[in-house]
Each structure stands twice: as C-alpha cells, then as structure tokens.
Chain A
C-alpha cells in the first residue's frame, strides 16, 4: 500500500494552479453567463434557468445531440471490429512491425484541419481522386447530406482506426506464448483461440479504445468544419459555436459538459478498476522487441 502523506499536495500544487487558471476560471465564467441575460448596453440581468429550459426545449439542440450519437455509433461499429482485424493480422516480428506502427500512426499526427482539407480535396468532383472516380462510375458525388455523412464517416475511419488497431495490438503482444500452447494442446480452433484467449486479454485495451473513440467523436468539430464548411450535418460542437446568444451558448456548454462529465466517470471507473494488481503491460513487452 502507498503511504499516506499530505505533503504530496505540494507536488500537485503547480498542476492545480495551472489547471485552475485554464479550466476552473473559464468554466465559472460560463456558469455565470448561463444564468444571465446580457442586454445590448452590456447590462447583466439574472434570468435563472431560462436559458437551460430554452436549450432543453430547442429542437436544434436535440437534433445535434442525436446526430452526434448516431455518428459515434456508426464509427464505433466500423472502427472497433476493423481495428481488431488489423491488429490480429499485423506482423509480430521483423521489419514489418516498425513499418506498420509508423505508417499506421501517420494519420493520427496530421493537424485535424489538414485532415479535413485532405478529404475535402480528395472528394471534390473536379480535382479529387475519389470524387472523380465516383463521377466516372456515374455517381454524382457532392450535394446531398448523405454524401456529407459518407465523407465524414470514411474520413473518421481513415483518421482514427489506427488508434484502435494500435491499442488492440498492444493487448495482443502482451499475451504469453504459453496461452497459445495450452490452447493448441486442447485442440482449439482459430476462432476458439480468438474468443477464449485473445479477446479476454484485449478486453481492457478495447474498453479504453471504445471510450476514447466515443468521447473524441462526441466532440468532433474541426474535420467536418473543414470538409463541408458549416453545412449539414451539424454536430454539438458546431451548434455550440454557431449559437450567438451568450446565455444560451453558455447553458448549452454546461449541458454538453455535464454529459461529458458523466462519460468521463464511466471511463475513470473502467480505467482504474484493475489498478493495484500487477498487470503484464503491452508497452513494456513492446519496448523489449
């Protein structure tokens, strides 16, 4: 057990001060705005929960929230199985390992706006490879909202599936060889090995992958902004930055933040559940190779 020491507070004090400045003060400002009405002469008037009621009765808010959930659901349904499939087939030794890791990580390090820009160019029917190919197959890409959805989903799959694959791969390489030998002696088929050996050992990293992907897709803003320049589909972040009325925007921020807080709590519970037990970590065994 770790010793109890209140002096540890001195060590966390710098973080506390910094995050207080970058997070608490701004958040309190938002709370303050969310209960006031700012008149044209910069006079503040207390309005209580008016803005909250307005947001919760606003169809645009619910539509944006609904779209966000559908988007997150679709990309999770594609990225998680695809990421696991890629991880299962990635090489385990030799020059293929660093090649795969580096090339797959590349999309993760591209500025988000540039990701959107790349796909905007790629999908254009006049100059983009994908747009021109689709046009030549007789499909007029561009135009209706469904095409925008399609672009966003394929872009997100392109951008983030590697994250799932990398995490699943780290889980896979941490499985001791003895497990596979035992499974072979038992005469287990490939599918049974996956179901009873590999999947349970990947459970923790996959949970992390699901939660990270869910939360990050839940606040997506930059990439759709770059691809479709403010048109449909409108997500929560887009809706938020397009709201002009200060109080309404603040109230929406608080509601948005509370949803995230709830999700973070789930995340935290999952992440720290197994803490304290020694775990064979993927990062360490990966570094040994």
Chain B
C-alpha cells in the first residue's frame, strides 16, 4: 500500500519517546552520585563505570540476578514440557469438556496476581517450598502454562493433520512421531512460546516477591528495597536497572517476527 513520504516520522517520534526514559536510566548509571544529585547534565561528564563495578563485585547483586534467571529458566522448561502434549490434544481432538478446559486455562492467564499472593504463601509453606526457586517457577505456571498452551495450539493448528496420519501409516508410534516429526515442524512455535514464558516470568514482580525471602530473593525485590530506602545510591540502582534490560533485548531479536502472534495468544 502507499504511504506518505513522511510516514517514517510517526514511528521515529514514537521510538524517540520510548528511548528517552531508557536513555535517562542508562545515562544515570554512568554518572557519579555527586553528579546525579548536584548537577543536571544531559550527558554523563565522564564515562564512569564505578556503578557497574559495584554491582558486579557485590555478592548480593550477583545472587539476585542468578536467582531471577534460575526461576525464569525453570518456569520456561516446565511450562513448555507440560503445554506441548496438551496443545496437541486441543489442536487435534475433540474430547469431553475440551472447550470448558480451554476457557478455564485462559481465565488463569487473566487472573490478577494480587488475588493469589496470600494463598500461594500458605500453599508453598505447607509443602515446605517457600523461598525456593521451584516455588516461584511453579507459581508462575499459573499464567505461563495457559499462555504456552494457547500459543502452541495456534501454531499446531497450522500443521495439516495429514502429516500425522501419514506418519502413523509409516509405522511411527505416537512418541516417536511427536518428537521426530511433529516437534521440528512447530519449532518456531516452541521458540515463541518459550520466549513468552521467559518474558512474563522475567517481568513479574508481585508473586515472585511474595514467595521469595532471603534464599531466592529476585532482582526486583532488591531494587524495590533499595529504591524506597532513604539515602538511595542512585548510580548503582540505575546500573542494576539497566542490566535488567539486557536479557529481554537479547531474546527479542530471535522472535521479532512472531512477537505480535505471541501477544495475540497464537491467533493473529
């Protein structure tokens, strides 16, 4: 379709608007605290890496970063592993209660996290799982499993059913067909679902904060504690905040063409 010659101005201005606060955070991370609090400078006077050195050498910062990455990784693996067979069932068969089940899964994706914080605390305490990585990973399954099922179902429905039938005629058993033939066909779908599980577990705060205390403290809880304390070390806070942008920025490159489909739960 035809676009005006100056069409690029709109996305360019929008991206400028998106980047300004991010720029401010990153710029602050290179400033000294003295510069942040006493002088108003658009660019850091000197590129000062002290804040990053402080983050990387502090055992506590390293711990919270790895805690977050561990439970996010665990959650992604669990979510995809259980969602794969379920999505196949929804895309290939009709069975008693299938529509109700599919709807019920969706309601979990939409459920407000605040409703679940209190019972989660008690449930995981009762199982002795409170303050463990697996507890946060399981709790995040609340919204990530439904999401993964919906996305994978969308991708699987795009694969013609004749392929399944041919494979069975050729003598494949269900597991061998599923792993050797079907999974490579929906590899991009698995990648997108994994990306979205990673993402929603990475950005979530309320549940992770309520299930983790000392042993598995997530990165955002530490940021929260420090940013609302008095005498804040702005430079270090900005440096740690900037570092939390990196995992998202890396993985986004791989799914740039599918990100809309993922947000539409597999059905753009």
A positions within 8 Å CB-CB of B: 1-9, 11-12, 14-16, 18-19, 21-23, 25-27, 29-30, 82, 85-86, 88-92, 96, 98, 100-114, 117-122, 126-130, 132, 158, 161-163, 165-167, 169-171, 174-175, 177, 180, 190, 193, 198, 205, 208, 212, 215, 218-219, 221-222, 226, 229, 236-237, 240-241, 246, 249-250, 253, 256-257, 260-261, 263-265, 267-268, 271, 275, 279, 281-284, 286-287, 289
Contact = CB atoms under 8 A, between A and B. Distances in A.
A240 B119 CA distance: 13
Contact of B117 (A101, A175, A208, A241): A241
Contact of A287 (B105, B145, B188, B219): B188
Of the four ranges (under 10, 10 to 19, 20 to 34, 35 or more), the interface on chain B belongs to 35 or more
Interface in B201-260: 202-206, 219-220, 223-224, 227-228, 234, 237-238, 241, 244-245, 247-249, 251-253, 256-260
Q: A7, A18, A85, A171: which has the most chain B beta carbons within 10 Å?
A: A18
A256 B113 CA distance: 11
Contacts of B25: 118, 121-122
A102 B260 CA distance: 12
B123 to A, nearest CB: 6
Contact of B89 (A8, A88, A250): A8
Q: Which of B21, B220, B252 gathers the greatest number of chain A CB atoms within 10 Å? A: B21
B261 A108 contact: no
A114 B220 contact: yes
B147 to A, nearest CB: 11
Given A264-B106, A282-B268, A118 B86 contact: no
Contact of A119 (B21, B219, B258): B21
Interface in B103-160: 103, 105-108, 110-120, 122-123, 138-139, 141-142, 145-146, 149, 158
A101 to B, nearest CB: 4
Contact of A108 (B2, B15, B199): B199
Contacts of A166: 259-260, 263
B258 A118 contact: no
B18 A170 contact: no
B203 A110 contact: yes
A85 B110 contact: no
Given A12-B89, A15-B82, A102-B256, A118 B22 contact: yes
Contacts of B37: 126-127
A106 B249 contact: yes
Interface in B189-207: 199, 202-206
Given A19-B142, A86-B11, A118-B24, 6 more contacts: A12-B101, A18-B78, A89-B3, A127-B28, A208-B265, A267-B110
B86 A180 contact: no
B95 A4 contact: yes
Contact of A112 (B123, B146, B205): B205
Contact of A2 (B86, B93, B142, B205): B93
Contacts of B105: 15, 19
B86 A267 contact: no
A11 B11 CA distance: 44
Interface string B38-62: 0010100000000000000000000
Contact of B227 (A18, A120, A271): A120
The 9 A-B residue pairs with the shortest CB-CB distance in the complex, in nearest-first order:
A109-B248, A283-B261, A26-B119, A170-B260, A219-B112, A11-B89, A89-B10, A8-B89, A237-B114
B92 interface: yes
Given A85-B10, A107-B18, A240 B115 contact: yes
Given A260-B111, A281-B268, A100 B15 contact: yes
B220 to A, nearest CB: 4
B19 interface: yes
A132 to B, nearest CB: 6
Contacts of B199: 108-109
